[in-house]
């Protein structure tokens, strides 16, 4: 009965980012007010203290405020592997090359991911490894954030087929199942094609908007192969992208609910250097390897006046699930109940990207049978992970609660 949920892919490794259509190029004619070039022809970097504390005139009416001090981040002022209290290593090649037919195998080896000289270094190598021709690295934040400002100083490698990216996935994203994307939400703080210096890709993906590119071109002589600051301001009403303090793009919440704005959820932070795939193509410049993506710092500033404005703010009430986890025998069943349903809200159950209403599971109480799990490919010792959230009258979801059911 739940065969379409494809529970059998529970074992596949970590995250993917996804293919895009041909980008629409939006040239930036000249510099923004207050911006200037260095003698080398690069955009002058605005001091991060000024970026944090100086309000953007275009959003002064909103009066969203971010913490004046760093809430979370990494200065990479140590040597060795990325701090395990802050980062997880993502390894493997995922499902169909992370959904993009990428050619690399991510490893956790120090030759692919390390911190030295005050910088995180992700290194792509031309070498055979586990059946792949290239290796590289990817790290994912242990902590998920909801709204806030990220400022990341990075130097990007150049060369055909290189794909450096910094992006976030919503908490409903499941590494082993492509069905959760794009519904889970994705925002790209920055992605570039290594063969196109001076072009930046700023995207958001949701159930209603995905697959398209939003590419901007930088002024002449600006190169991504120098350290630049990439910033994103994320609020309940909009997401704004900045390059060295210059506003590049704005994406606005249109109030159409979760399918158009999944960005009320909590999101992780992904940093990776991919090789090949649908976005950059498979004409790899092997001479450019080893290719190194360098991060000088990652700084996150929390949104500190969350209740200031938006009618679209996520419902702070999170479902209380009873029980949170359970085990059943092969011929058994288990009932799960949400005990704190607010007025005028819908209880929404889903698993692996599928709305479970299609399987007759809705309301504040559902019963899952072992026959359902077995039909989905689960056997003794296997577990189904599912989620429940609230959807209010505006179509805005609450933070999700996770449940687990295991066949004994």
| Residues that are catalytic | 186, 191
Shortest CA distance to 202 belongs to which of 222, 219, 224, 187? 187
| CA–CA separation, 103 and 93 (whole Å) | 8
State in Å, rounded, how far the first CA of the chain is from the last one.
Answer: 19
Q: C-alpha dihedral over 172, 174, 179, 180, to 10 degrees?
A: 20
What's the chain look like in SS3? CCHHHCHHHCCCCCCCCCCCCCCEEEECCCCCCCCCECCCCCECCCCHHHHHHCCCHHHCCCCCCECCCCCEEECCCCCECCCCCCEEECCECCCCHHHHHCCEEECCCCCCEEEECCEEEEEEEEEEECCEEEEECEEEECCCECCEEEEEEEECCCCCCEEEEEEEEECCCCCCCHHHCCCCCEEEEEECCCCCCCEEECCEECCCCCCCCEEEECCCCCCCCCCEEEEEEECCCEEEEEECCEEEEEEECCCCCCCCCCCCCCECCEEEEEECCCCCCCCCCHHHCCEEEEEEEEEEECECCHHHCCCCCCCCCCCCEECCEEEECCCCEEEEEECCCCCCCEEEEEECCEEHHHHCCCCCEEEEEHHHHHHCCCCCCCEEEEEEEEECCCCCECCCEEEEEEEC
């Amino acid at each position: 009965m739940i065969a379409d949920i494809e529970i059998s892919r529970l074992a596949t490794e970590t995250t993917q980012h996804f293919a895009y259509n041909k980008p629409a190029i939006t040239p930036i004619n000249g510099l923004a007010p207050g911006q200037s070039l260095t003698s080398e022809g690069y955009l002058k970097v605005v001091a991060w203290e000024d970026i944090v504390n100086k309000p953007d005139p275009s959003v002064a009416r909103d009066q969203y405020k971010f913490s004046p001090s760093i809430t979370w981040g990494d200065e990479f002022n140590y040597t060795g592997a990325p701090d395990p209290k802050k980062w997880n290593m993502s390894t493997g090649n995922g499902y169909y090359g992370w959904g993009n037919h990428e050619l690399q195998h991510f490893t956790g080896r120090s030759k692919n991911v390390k911190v030295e000289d005050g910088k995180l270094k992700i290194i792509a190598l031309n070498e055979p490894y586990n059946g792949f021709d290239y290796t590289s690295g990817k790290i994912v934040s242990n902590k998920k954030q909801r709204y806030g400002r990220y400022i990341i100083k990075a130097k990007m490698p150049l060369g055909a087929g290189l794909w450096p990216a910094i992006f976030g996935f919503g908490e409903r994203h499941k590494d082993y199942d492509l069905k959760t994307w794009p519904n889970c939400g994705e925002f790209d703080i920055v992605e570039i094609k290594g063969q196109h210096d001076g072009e930046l890709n700023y995207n958001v993906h949701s159930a209603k908007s995905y697959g398209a590119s939003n590419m901007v071109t930088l002024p002449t002589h600006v190169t991504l192969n120098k350290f630049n600051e990439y910033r994103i301001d994320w609020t309940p009403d909009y997401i704004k992208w900045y390059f060295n303090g210059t506003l590049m793009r704005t994406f606005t919440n249109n109030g159409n609910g979760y399918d158009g704005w999944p960005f009320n959820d909590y999101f992780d932070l992904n940093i990776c250097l991919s090789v090949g795939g649908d976005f950059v193509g498979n004409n790899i410049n092997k001479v450019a390897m080893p290719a190194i993506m360098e991060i000088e710092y990652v700084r996150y500033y929390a949104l500190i006046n969350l209740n200031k404005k938006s009618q679209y703010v996520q419902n702070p009430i999170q479902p209380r699930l009873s029980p949170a986890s359970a085990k059943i025998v092969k011929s058994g069943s288990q009932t799960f109940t949400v005990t704190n349903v607010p007025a005028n809200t819908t209880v929404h159950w889903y698993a692996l990207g599928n709305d479970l209403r299609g399987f007759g599971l809705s309301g504040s109480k559902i019963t899952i049978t072992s026959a359902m799990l077995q039909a989905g490919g689960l056997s003794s010792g296997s577990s189904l992970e599912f989620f429940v959230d609230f959807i209010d009258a505006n179509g805005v979801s609450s933070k999700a609660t996770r449940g687990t059911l295991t066949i004994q």
